[in-house]
Structure 1
Amino acid sequence: MGFTSFAGRVLFASVFILSAWQEFNEFGVDGGPAAKAFKPKFDVFTHHVNSCLGVHVPEIEIKHIVGAGIALKGIGGILFIFGSSLAAYLLVLYLAISTPILCDFYNYDIEKTEFLQLFLKFTQSLALFGALLFFLGMKNSIPRRQLKKKTAPKTKTI
């Protein structure tokens, strides 16, 4: 059971680690292709937040957002291999922030091909999110190993 659990965590974390590694290699000065793809989607998201909620989103450089995403995926993925709850929380945070922005299928008409592609990515991210919540639930439901109290040896009666 121990090896199977470890192998499952390695395979699960590899999705995040490989993605972070690829984005890190392409990062460059301006944030790379990830920043170029994220910028228009982030602008649409901030426009929605401003118009619907009336909350002003502060100006943030896209390369800093991409760098934070790389850090969350990389650190979270590596720590997840060792079964850390902190790692699962980092990956949940990454998915909770990035999924609604990157997988904006709701901005497209249902007949468009982009809708289907983005909806599939959204459901994949939702499945990863659910798996992380399941991991956290299982991790918190297993009682910690309690040390047995050593009692004083019984005296022998003659």
Structure 2
Amino acid sequence: MGFVSFVGRVLFASVFLLSAYQEFSEFGTDGGPAAKSLKPKFNLFVKQVSAGIGMAVPHIDIKSVIAFTMFLKAFGGLLFIISSSFGALVLLVYLAFITPVVYDFYNYEMESQQFAKLFTMFSQNLALFGALLFFLGMKNSIPRRHSKRRAAKAKTT
């Protein structure tokens, strides 16, 4: 059972680790293709948040955002492989913040091809989010193993 769960964690975390590695190898001086595709969506998200809270959001460099997301994916994925709840939480935070920004299907008409593509990817990230929640729930519901030694009985005289 232990080996099978380890392989499952490695396969699950590989989604995040390979994505982080790809972004790292393409990063360059401008943040790479990830920065180019994220920048307009991130700017739109910042504009919507600013309008929603009624005050300006400080400027955040897109290269910093990409570097931080790479770190979250790699660090969380590696910790998840060793069955760390903290690793699962890091990946949950990453998915919670990046999914609605990157897969903004709600900004498109339902009949458009872009809507269908973004909604599919949004749904896949929700599935990953749910799997992480399931992992945390199962990890917390399994009681810790206790030592096989029994406590010495007190002698009664």
TM-score (structure 2 length as normaliser): 0.93
2:97 and 2:11 mapped to 1: Cα distance?
Answer: 23
The answer as to 2:103 corresponding to 1:103 is: yes
- More displaced stretch, 133-142 vs 54-63: 54-63
* Number of the residue aligned with 2:128: 128
Query: 2:9 — aligned with what?
Result: 9
How many Å separate the matches in 1 of 2:137 and 2:65? 29
Letter in 1 for 2:2: G
* Greater than 4 Å deviation, 4+ residue runs: 152-155
Alpha-carbon shift at residue 98 of structure 1 (Å): 0.2
| Residue identity matched to 1:9 | R
> What is the total number of aligned residue pairs between the two structures?
156
- SS of 2:6 mapped into structure 1: helix
Q: What CA distance in whole angstroms lies between the structure 2 residues aligned with 1:131 and 1:56?
A: 35
Unaligned runs of 5+ in 1: none
1:53 to partner: Cα distance: 2.7
- 1:31 partnered with 2:31: yes
SS in structure 1 at match of 2:123: helix
For residues 121-150 of structure 1, the C-alpha deviation after alignment (integer angstroms, 9 at most, x for no partner) is: 000000000000000011111112234553
Partner Cα distance (2:27, 2:146) in 1: 47
What value does the CA root-mean-square deviation take over the aligned residues? 1.7
Partners of 2:93 and 2:72 lie apart in 1 by 8
Determine if the alignment matches structure 1 residue 151 to structure 2 residue 152.
yes
TM-score, normalization: structure 1?
0.93
Task: Output the CA distance in 2 between the equivalents of 1:99 and 1:90.
Answer: 14
1:74-114 Cα offsets, whole Å, 9 max, x none, are: 11111111111111001000000100000000000111110
How many Å apart are 1:49 and its aligned residue?
1.0
Taking the aligned partners of 1:126 and 1:18, their CA distance within structure 2 comes to 19
- Residue 6 of structure 2 aligns to which amino acid in structure 1? F
Query: Which string of whole-angstrom CA distances, capped at 9 and with x for unpartnered residues, describes residues 4-52 of structure 1?
Result: 1111111100100000000000011111110111100001111111222
CA distance in 2, matches of 1:33, 1:88: 27
Distance 2:106 2:46 in 1: 15
Structure 1: distance between partners of 2:111 and 2:88 = 36
Q: Give the 3-state SS of the residue equivalent to 1:83 in structure 2.
A: coil
